Amino acid sequence: MLIQHHFPQDDPSIQAFILAALTAGGGITGYARTGSIPSIAAGVTVGALYGLGGLRVRNRQPYGLELALAASFILAGSSFPRAVKTMKPLPIGLSVVAAFGLYRFGMLWRAQV
């Protein structure tokens, strides 16, 4: 059972939707700026996972938190090594988004099992 939230920004479905918009928008922006097919593919895929997770959480369907957590793992797996290697703002920002998702959805998942 999910924890009751007092503020809309504390709602995990809204947080998943925000992360979906950030990652999908980032992938589309990366494609628009550089023509990078991997950027759009990864961004839209991770964004779709966050969005589907958010919908499932909102509708109280199973595996919503797990989908959002999986999206965070995928994003972390691709962004953390690049952030450490390049120290560029974009991979660092993606790493922060991934770390937030890992923490937030991980703690909620842990509370329900």
- pLDDT by residue (tens digit) across 60-103? 999 999 999 999 999 999 999 999 999 998 889 999 999 999 99
Query: What is the rounded distance in angstroms from the CA atom of residue 43 to the CA atom of residue 75?
Result: 9
Runs of H (alpha helix) within the chain: 12-34, 37-58, 64-86, 89-112
What pLDDT, in 10s, does the model give residues 11-21?
999 999 999 99
Query: Two tokens at 39?
Result: 């950027």
How far apart (Å, rounded) are the C-alpha atoms in residues 40 and 60? 30
- The predicted model scores a pTM of 0.89
Amino acid type, 2: L
**C-alpha to C-alpha distance for 68 and 15, rounded to whole angstroms:** 10
Measure CA of the first residue to CA of the last residue in the chain; give whole Å. Answer: 9
